[in-house]
Chain A
């Protein structure tokens, strides 16, 4: 019934093949509005290798979901998408809808946040899984149903033979999300994009669903893009991480590099503002003052400048690119990334409790790192 599992994530079997399955290059997305264009995504590039798990973190409005919707070609027609997205070497941007539809759910699968809205309430879950199989494969209905039962078993649904005839409302939230995972893995995709797959769920159920997601990855060998705001989920289930802020990747690297050696003040601040379950100290939290900028008519320069304790004049004039740090795989978009070596978030951010827009100059005075060390 219940099992205790060591969650050591051994990916050594999947890692050595380094062929790229998904390549996103300089992707930009704009939404025209009456007040001007909202630049939701501003030049995002990443590569996803076979069997790799890439985590994308960021706060609400940072463009992490829009990026993945652009990859899936699911943005509304008004959105202006530029750049390049290649799946197995095949360019996706500008593909006609009909051809896109052949890829979606087949080579490219998705899992959304809310299983209640991504499942159809008037069909049984078995029908919906079978539908995904029949859309891309010429098999009998009986075979599709059998596969549906197999899939339900893989994602850990008890009594799959009976559950296959359930409607979504007869299942709990965790089970519904596992059905969505079953649908995503139905056609052995090369890439699974999971957008906040567990945000709507309770923690004990979240643990079950993440387990099902791991099972799906092991079964299909798919590469995964895991989008979430929960750094804990990323820590346990991704190999590499991209931190997004104001529509851009601001830091990219292996999990260990970014969690233990962040080189961008925003990543550092994000880690410092988390209350920790594993630390008893009553240390004050260090929030990042202010709120993210509006993506409408962004000023030039680094978008994090108004909230950044390291900000200097150059930050307001010039937006930093992704500079390589010690490890070539680890890049950070900060002019002063070199000064962040060995700096902890409490050195940089203050344990402030005042809201932000009303800070005096003294509160926001740049931190003198050299002086502190």
Chain B
């Protein structure tokens, strides 16, 4: 449906490079079952619908959207932690969605994930040394105890923690430090791609800034590619090179970061950007705000055609009856509007919001 093209990075030298990971027409439906003994399938939650994107080397792709839009599911399907319903995830010429758990194992070294909640993602009964050493042991890279311990110390140092604290347990650390431990564990196997699922959302702002700086440093040093999943557009603007905006399982707009924030073309992106409060009283009080009505529709029964039309201010206020029919009947394709800026709206128009 959507013709996938590799979206050009701002730097010209990167355009020719092969993407590290390319996702094509990814679909994930979760069954909804009836109650009772038989538990017949009575519907599907359309969590991810026809999502395609490329992740280039040393690039941060920001995946944003509100809760329930499928961004976390996308991240998990990508790593084959959840089986895809259909579609492809190509990594080094292999389709990850078709692979069994044992075939995946060697590839897991290259593809790692950092979870949102640093309180839930660390085993409270293991010391930090054990937590960081675990992936090394599983993949047979721990070696002699001396070599292994050295590696763990080095990893802790890399993420800005004191290696002396390796014998402590997770509860002895603050939220920011725990998130660093999660990052050290993900880095243990020298991955190429990190899926960062809301890595700083649970942290206070003064701590969050340090973790963001760390992620930037690690990317520069280790040449990592990030899929950065977040609901916070300010963080995305700071860290991402390109952004994909999701709404109800679909990517509605994708562009290099500056273009997205300067000339957002999809009404949903525009509403999203205008809804973020700016920590600047004068700007905040004089800028135009697009208020959406209602809530995100149920993904069990998404609207036909354009999924955003039920809340779209353009659909409600600007379009004629004839134009609306197109939104109801036709799913808008992600159309390239130049320089890798693609938006899935029949009537997309750039708007300056900040």
Point out residues on A near B: beta carbons under 8 Å. Answer: 1-9, 59-60, 158, 172-175, 202-208, 211, 229-236, 255-256, 259-260, 269-278, 280, 282, 284-289, 291, 351-358
Tell me if B278 is interfacial: C-beta within 8 Å of chain A: yes
Q: Are A287 and B213 in contact (CB under 8 A)?
A: yes
- Given contacts A2-B291, A202-B67, is CB(A235)–CB(B275) below 8 Å? no
Q: Are B234 and A274 in contact (CB under 8 A)?
A: yes
A204 partner, pick from B162, B217, B278, B292, beta carbons under 8 A: B292
The interface centre, meaning the residue of B204, B281, B284 with most chain A CB atoms within 10 A of its CB, is B281
Q: Are A230 and B277 in contact (CB under 8 A)?
A: yes
Contacts of B238 in A (CB 8 A): 275-276, 282, 285
**Given A284-B213, A355-B159, 13 new contacts (CB under 8 A):** A2-B291, A5-B289, A203-B233, A203-B272, A203-B275, A229-B204, A255-B281, A269-B206, A276-B279, A277-B278, A353-B217, A355-B160, A358-B160
Chain A nearest Cβ from B165, distance in angstroms: 8
B288 partner, pick from A6, A9, A158, beta carbons under 8 A: A6
Q: Are B316 and A259 in contact (CB under 8 A)?
A: no
Q: Are B285 and A7 in contact (CB under 8 A)?
A: yes
In the assembled complex, the Cα of A288 lies from the Cα of B312 at a distance in Å of 40
CB-CB nearest 10 A-B residue pairs: A232-B277, A358-B162, A287-B209, A273-B209, A353-B213, A275-B238, A354-B160, A287-B210, A285-B209, A2-B313
Q: Are B160 and A7 in contact (CB under 8 A)?
A: no
In the assembled complex, the Cα of A280 lies from the Cα of B263 at a distance in Å of 13
Contacts of B293 in A (CB 8 A): 1-2, 158, 208
Q: Are A60 and B204 in contact (CB under 8 A)?
A: yes
Majority secondary structure of chain B interface residues (helix, strand, loop or mixed): helix
In the assembled complex, the Cα of A231 lies from the Cα of B277 at a distance in Å of 8
Contacts of B288 in A (CB 8 A): 4, 6
Contacts of B277 in A (CB 8 A): 206, 230, 232-233, 235-236
Contacts of A285 in B (CB 8 A): 209-210, 212-213, 238
Contacts of B274 in A (CB 8 A): 207
Point out residues on B near A: beta carbons under 8 Å. Answer: 66-67, 159-162, 165, 174, 176-177, 180, 204-210, 212-214, 216-217, 231-235, 237-239, 258, 261-262, 271-296, 311-313, 316-317, 354
Q: Are B213 and A205 in contact (CB under 8 A)?
A: no
The interface centre, meaning the residue of B165, B213, B234 with most chain A CB atoms within 10 A of its CB, is B213
Q: Are B210 and A289 in contact (CB under 8 A)?
A: yes
Q: Are B217 and A259 in contact (CB under 8 A)?
A: no
In the assembled complex, the Cα of A203 lies from the Cα of B295 at a distance in Å of 11
Q: Are B289 and A7 in contact (CB under 8 A)?
A: yes
In the assembled complex, the Cα of A158 lies from the Cα of B295 at a distance in Å of 12
Q: Are B292 and A286 in contact (CB under 8 A)?
A: no
Chain B nearest Cβ from A246, distance in angstroms: 13
Contacts of A208 in B (CB 8 A): 291-293
Q: Are B237 and A291 in contact (CB under 8 A)?
A: no
The interface centre, meaning the residue of B212, B258, B273, B291 with most chain A CB atoms within 10 A of its CB, is B291
In the assembled complex, the Cα of A192 lies from the Cα of B214 at a distance in Å of 40
Q: Are A7 and B287 in contact (CB under 8 A)?
A: yes
Chain A nearest Cβ from B29, distance in angstroms: 23
Q: Are A2 and B317 in contact (CB under 8 A)?
A: yes
The interface centre, meaning the residue of A270, A277, A291 with most chain B CB atoms within 10 A of its CB, is A277
Chain B nearest Cβ from A61, distance in angstroms: 9
Contacts of A352 in B (CB 8 A): 210, 213
In the assembled complex, the Cα of A231 lies from the Cα of B207 at a distance in Å of 15
Contacts of B281 in A (CB 8 A): 235-236, 255-256, 259-260
Q: Are B237 and A355 in contact (CB under 8 A)?
A: no
28 A-B Cβ contacts within 8 A?
Answer: A1-B313, A2-B312, A3-B291, A6-B288, A7-B285, A204-B292, A206-B275, A207-B274, A207-B291, A231-B279, A232-B276, A235-B280, A235-B284, A235-B285, A255-B281, A256-B282, A273-B205, A275-B237, A276-B278, A276-B279, A277-B237, A278-B278, A287-B210, A291-B207, A354-B160, A354-B210, A355-B159, A358-B165
Contacts of B313 in A (CB 8 A): 1-2, 4
Chain A nearest Cβ from B209, distance in angstroms: 4
Q: Are A2 and B212 in contact (CB under 8 A)?
A: no
Chain A nearest Cβ from B208, distance in angstroms: 7
Chain B nearest Cβ from A308, distance in angstroms: 12
Chain A nearest Cβ from B125, distance in angstroms: 23
In the assembled complex, the Cα of A271 lies from the Cα of B214 at a distance in Å of 19
Chain A nearest Cβ from B179, distance in angstroms: 10
- Given contacts A211-B291, A285-B209, is CB(A278)–CB(B235) below 8 Å? no
Contacts of B292 in A (CB 8 A): 2, 204, 207-208
Contacts of A284 in B (CB 8 A): 213, 216
Contacts of A358 in B (CB 8 A): 160-162, 165
Chain A nearest Cβ from B236, distance in angstroms: 8
Q: Are A271 and B216 in contact (CB under 8 A)?
A: no
Q: Which residue of A lies closest to B271 (CB)?
A: A204
Q: Are A8 and B161 in contact (CB under 8 A)?
A: no
Q: Are B272 and A204 in contact (CB under 8 A)?
A: yes
Q: Are A271 and B231 in contact (CB under 8 A)?
A: no
Q: Are A280 and B280 in contact (CB under 8 A)?
A: no
The interface centre, meaning the residue of B159, B207, B237, B313 with most chain A CB atoms within 10 A of its CB, is B207
Q: Which residue of A lies closest to B159 (CB)?
A: A355
B176 partner, pick from A260, A278, A280, A355, beta carbons under 8 A: A355
Contacts of A356 in B (CB 8 A): 210
Contacts of B280 in A (CB 8 A): 235, 259, 278
In the assembled complex, the Cα of A12 lies from the Cα of B110 at a distance in Å of 60
Q: Are A353 and B160 in contact (CB under 8 A)?
A: yes
Contacts of B285 in A (CB 8 A): 7-9, 235-236
Q: Which residue of A lies closest to B208 (CB)?
A: A273
In the assembled complex, the Cα of A351 lies from the Cα of B165 at a distance in Å of 24
A1 partner, pick from B160, B177, B237, B316, beta carbons under 8 A: B316
Chain A nearest Cβ from B303, distance in angstroms: 15
Chain B nearest Cβ from A171, distance in angstroms: 9
Contacts of A205 in B (CB 8 A): 66, 295
- Given contacts A175-B295, A269-B206, is CB(A277)–CB(B261) below 8 Å? yes
Q: Are B180 and A355 in contact (CB under 8 A)?
A: yes
Q: Which residue of B lies closest to A156 (CB)?
A: B293
In the assembled complex, the Cα of A1 lies from the Cα of B316 at a distance in Å of 7
Chain A nearest Cβ from B330, distance in angstroms: 22
Q: Are A351 and B213 in contact (CB under 8 A)?
A: yes
Contacts of B176 in A (CB 8 A): 291, 355
Q: Are B216 and A287 in contact (CB under 8 A)?
A: no
Q: Which residue of A lies closest to B210 (CB)?
A: A287
